[in-house]
Structure 1
Amino acid sequence: MPRDKQPPLVVFMPLGAPEPGTTLQRWLYDGLREAILKGRLPAGSKLPGTRVLASHYGLARGTVQAAYQQLLSEGYLDAHTGSGTRVSQVLPGVTLESGYVRRRIVPSVETHDPPPQTPWIERLAAIKPVFGRRSVIPGLRPFFPHRGDVQTFPVDLWRKLHIQQLRSSRMSALLDSDPAGLPALRQAVAGYLSIARGVQVSADRVLILSSVQQGLDLCLRLLVQPGEPVWMEDPGYPGARQLMDVTGVNRVDVPVDQHGLDVDEGIRRAPRARLAYVTPSRQAPLGSELSPARRLALLRWANTQGAYIFEDDYDSEYRFIAKPIPALRSLAEADRSVILAGTFSKLLFPAIRLAYLVLPASLVESFTRAAALTARHANSLAQAVLAEFISEGHFDRHVRQKRKIYASRAEAFAEAAHTHWRDLIHVPDIRAGMDIACTLAHEDEAGTCARLGSAGIDVMPLSNYCVERKPAGLVMGFAPYDERAIQDAAQAVKVALQR
């Protein structure tokens, strides 16, 4: 192992109490040897000097030297001038007998007891989480959806703002912060929403979280009793649907058409629902907008029933054919019933893990207490940097630049689809967003996805978003790929499907 790749110095390791009648020298020898054999001290690990180890364990230095010497003579340790004492790269057989070892040391076999059968664990076992460990696809193969282009992010500017926050005069950014969010960021978000989304709200109604998913989780915990009905769009965002399923609410799937959520059908299926999840500005995944008539009908239902509307402001900023339409929360009738949720993960970069809720006044205190109890607060340093990024105008410029870039790539995607996929995949007009739901000319959705995957193309089956009606289709992203990459990938799709 190269010197710069060596494991770190091992300063402390609990060895347990000596057994009665065991000398301290043998206790130390047995403890270190067993740690080496079980991998707790990996090959190449550097052990402390005998003086340091003796001081730490309260032993005589001669005791430590004797134990080290025995391990060196048996091949468990190596010592070289200038590099200290390290665990050997090649260990002797585990059955070696010595003056201290009277038994065979067999590495323990890890066993797993079955998890307790709680309702949450049982419901989690029944789903494959959208955000599971196997769901993160390495690389950036076209045309995987729900991804932005991080290459366009002004990383040098972000680094500069980050460094400014780490000046000695601003070290408070490294401390715990208000569980509702940094006041500067809440004020910046309120100002941004006023201009970009038509939402007039004071900063004290803004709650900073790590994700929209966390915000929906709080809503389901605080506003809905287990077994009570909740409206869910169908087709709709799988992460929201799965969260409803594991929290034990009664998910009621409400169909979506070209005008958005069918409010009348939702009322017919579950008139007394406690919560409705909607993506009114750009429906996920179909891309339609909730019509004005249905917006008013949805608000009228919520205010009459005392229900709440969770407005996921999904991809609202990336609208190409006109200015972004105002949020549902901007309407006068929405103040009591609408909880607006937005994220910076798609607008900036996924790793920022910052989002927000705009809450009715009556919910601010309970939601803030719940956020403090479950997560303490979102990353304080990232909040401080983002607050300056917004207040200095960088955020607005960045979003406008990305909107222009994504519009160009949406046009290139549509042209490539028209050129290569006319008899294979139908791509509707792309008015907004980072991806588009397409329909297949045949019904073999699973086979299509398999053939595309083998050709290096990643897509999401449209059926993953659907419950009742599952048309054969694909959700395909275009935002992270430049025009040349789109053309090359479109040709690869054609070859794979024609084959």
Structure 2
Amino acid sequence: MPSEKAPPHVVFLPLGAPEAGASLQSWLYESLRRAILGGRLPTGSKLPSTRAMAEHYSLARGTVQAAYQQLLSEGYLQARTGSGTRVSEVLPDPTLNAGYVRRKVVPVQEEKRSAPETPWLKRLDEIVPIFSRRTLPSGLRPFFPHRGDINAFPIDLWRKLHTQQLRSSRLSMLLDSDPAGLPELREAIASYLAIARGVQVSPERILVLSSVQQGLDICLRLLAPGDSQVWMEDPGYPGARQLMDISGVRRVDVPVDRFGMQVEEGMRQAPAARLAYVTPSRQAPLGGELSPARRLALLKWAAEQGSYIFEDDYDSEYRFIAKPIPALRSMPAAEHSVILAGTFSKLLFPSVRLAYLVLPEHLLESFTRASALMSRHANSLAQAVLADFIHEGHFDRHVRRMRKIYASRAEAFAEAAHRHWQGLIEVPEIRAGMDIACQLQVESEQDAFTRLQAAGIDTIPLSRYCVNTRAAGLVMGFAPYEERTIEDAAKAVALALRG
């Protein structure tokens, strides 16, 4: 029986044992042929040398050479000088009666199966994630929103810090880490929140995750069981709405105006809701701030009902008119009811995939256990690099620099809109962020969106953020685009919509 032990650095298909009475040459030939026809050896894949194959299966080299030669002569393999023996790109008809085939190879019919009809899967069929291959543009065309300028990120510095973490004296960083997050990063986040967001919190109250979406998922699982009611901003971030829909909660769409979520309307529709999702520092996508009166009303409602507030603080640092306003979580009455969520994907670059929750003390243990069960822990190497990036002052310098760049581009966007979009698109004052919800002054939102796409301009229709009908609009980004690009794209927008 052939040996199943492979030499180092060589990968071989498990071919099984030869049948009784079959020659080793016939067994090897038939096994390789079935692997090729069945796709286990894809077209173009390289086979081991005859010497390596013989050593691996304890065969005579002449036996392997004979099997290879038969497959070459029938067109299953091809040999080229310098590239070895590979599976042919175009295979012969598998029904041909090859010389060493002792029985007809009958293709196995795969059993047709469908996914079980679970409630989760039924709801999933009706949802297309806002950020997916079907919805994301392939390039970086103006004016797609929700993106920063990755070209302005200090990548050489990040690479240096990354390399430092991979020194032999620090290789423990490659092991599993604390499910709550690296202590050094939690300390850095706590210091940052105290200065930038007015939130005084101990590092032990911070849970590091891969995304805000993951944090909201845990909230829905632990705090809104069954058919609990959950407040959602309308218009609001589609990713949060879709997560609510897939979780099975009863979503309550609370209208938003220029002062943020209409808290009184939420209390009228669902006074006993278990959770409220809000973006109080910069409403997504309209851009307003939750007024002081509504902040107090929201906190009072949560305290009286024993409910929770999920504060998505997604890009509050990029404020141009004045200093960033404090987080809702910074208010004295917020400690026991507000879960503050922040992300570094907006402040650094999307693929860093690091975010955090600031949790009430009584939720910390259960949330940490849930996170550990669902994903073990966030990338510990990236956490260590980010901790150094913050502690050494690079993070603060980067954010301040990007705030100036984005403010300049926001001004260029507004000026270009004023020059070219009169009677087409109304752009409100841009006070913060990386994008803006603009009001269309043409008849059809879908027609405008289609015309702009054909002209090389990417946007997101405002209707995708809404449940209830609002005036036609487009959410347009400006942060990744230099002033010259903004000007040229603004002209293209005008030409497309006037044409």
Q: TM-score range by the shorter chain?
A: over 0.9
Quick check: 1:230–1:274 contact (8 Å CA) kept in 2? yes
In structure 1, what is the equivalent of residue 145 of structure 2?
A: 145
Quick check: 1:94–1:106 contact (8 Å CA) kept in 2? no
Q: Tell me whether 1:70 sits opposite 2:32 in the alignment.
A: no
In structure 2, what is the equivalent of residue 128 of structure 1?
A: 128
In structure 2, what is the equivalent of residue 369 of structure 1?
A: 369
What letter matches 1:29 in structure 2?
Answer: Y
In structure 2, what is the equivalent of residue 457 of structure 1?
A: 457
Deviation at residue 82 of structure 1 after TM alignment: 5.2
What letter matches 1:227 in structure 2?
Answer: D
In structure 2, what is the equivalent of residue 334 of structure 1?
A: 334
The alignment partner of 2:479 has SS state of coil
Quick check: 2:198–2:327 contact (8 Å CA) kept in 1? yes
Quick check: 1:10–1:46 contact (8 Å CA) kept in 2? no
CA change 1:454–1:37 in 2 (3 A) is same
What letter matches 1:241 in structure 2?
Answer: R
Quick check: 1:94–1:104 contact (8 Å CA) kept in 2? no
- Between Structure 1 and Structure 2, how many residues are aligned? 491
Residue pairs, 1:270-281, within 5 angstroms:
270-281=270-281
CA change 1:108–1:494 in 2 (3 A) is farther
Q: Which stretch of structure 1 is more off in the superposition, 72-81 or 233-242?
A: 72-81
In structure 1, what is the equivalent of residue 403 of structure 2?
A: 403
Cα distance in 2 for residues equivalent to 1:51 and 1:61: 6
Cα distance in 2 for residues equivalent to 1:298 and 1:102: 78
CA change 1:174–1:492 in 2 (3 A) is same
Q: Tell me whether 1:384 sits opposite 2:401 in the alignment.
A: no
Deviations 1:10-46 (CA, angstroms, capped at 9, x unpaired)? 7211234444544332222112112223443234432
Deviation at residue 108 of structure 1 after TM alignment: 6.2
Cα distance in 2 for residues equivalent to 1:109 and 1:316: 56
In structure 2, what is the equivalent of residue 50 of structure 1?
A: 50
Residue pairs, 1:197-216, within 5 angstroms:
197-216=197-216
Structure 2 segments unaligned to the other structure (5+ residues): 1-8
Quick check: 1:302–1:337 contact (8 Å CA) kept in 2? yes
Deviation at residue 254 of structure 1 after TM alignment: 0.5
Q: Tell me whether 1:355 sits opposite 2:355 in the alignment.
A: yes
Deviations 1:218-272 (CA, angstroms, capped at 9, x unpaired)? 0000111120100000010000000000000010000111111111111111001
What letter matches 2:458 in structure 1?
Answer: D
Q: Percent identity between the aligned chains?
A: 73
Residue pairs, 1:47-196, within 5 angstroms:
47-79=47-79, 83-102=83-102, 105=105, 112-196=112-196
Quick check: 1:279–1:312 contact (8 Å CA) kept in 2? yes
Quick check: 2:314–2:346 contact (8 Å CA) kept in 1? no
Deviation at residue 81 of structure 1 after TM alignment: 5.8
In structure 1, what is the equivalent of residue 436 of structure 2?
A: 436
Quick check: 2:315–2:433 contact (8 Å CA) kept in 1? yes
CA change 1:440–1:273 in 2 (3 A) is same
Cα distance in 2 for residues equivalent to 1:106 and 1:355: 52
Cα distance in 2 for residues equivalent to 1:81 and 1:447: 57
Deviation at residue 63 of structure 1 after TM alignment: 3.3
Quick check: 1:420–1:490 contact (8 Å CA) kept in 2? yes
The alignment partner of 2:129 has SS state of coil
Cα distance in 2 for residues equivalent to 1:293 and 1:90: 71
What letter matches 1:253 in structure 2?
Answer: D
Deviation at residue 111 of structure 1 after TM alignment: 6.6
Cα distance in 2 for residues equivalent to 1:299 and 1:23: 80
Q: Tell me whether 1:267 sits opposite 2:267 in the alignment.
A: yes
Cα distance in 2 for residues equivalent to 1:491 and 1:49: 61
Quick check: 1:318–1:432 contact (8 Å CA) kept in 2? yes
What letter matches 1:161 in structure 2?
Answer: L
The alignment partner of 2:437 has SS state of strand
RMSD over equivalenced CA pairs, Å:
1.8
Cα distance in 1 for residues equivalent to 2:17 and 2:286: 64
Cα distance in 2 for residues equivalent to 1:119 and 1:381: 37
Deviations 1:409-460 (CA, angstroms, capped at 9, x unpaired)? 0000000111111101111000000000011113300111000111011110
Q: Tell me whether 1:497 sits opposite 2:497 in the alignment.
A: yes
The alignment partner of 1:46 has SS state of coil
CA change 1:79–1:447 in 2 (3 A) is closer
Deviations 1:138-168 (CA, angstroms, capped at 9, x unpaired)? 1101111101110100000001111111111
What letter matches 2:399 in structure 1?
Answer: V
If the length of structure 1 is used for normalisation, what is the TM-score? 0.94
CA change 1:64–1:437 in 2 (3 A) is same
Deviation at residue 306 of structure 1 after TM alignment: 0.5
Cα distance in 2 for residues equivalent to 1:326 and 1:146: 22
What letter matches 2:15 in structure 1?
Answer: L
Cα distance in 1 for residues equivalent to 2:478 and 2:92: 56
The alignment partner of 1:417 has SS state of helix
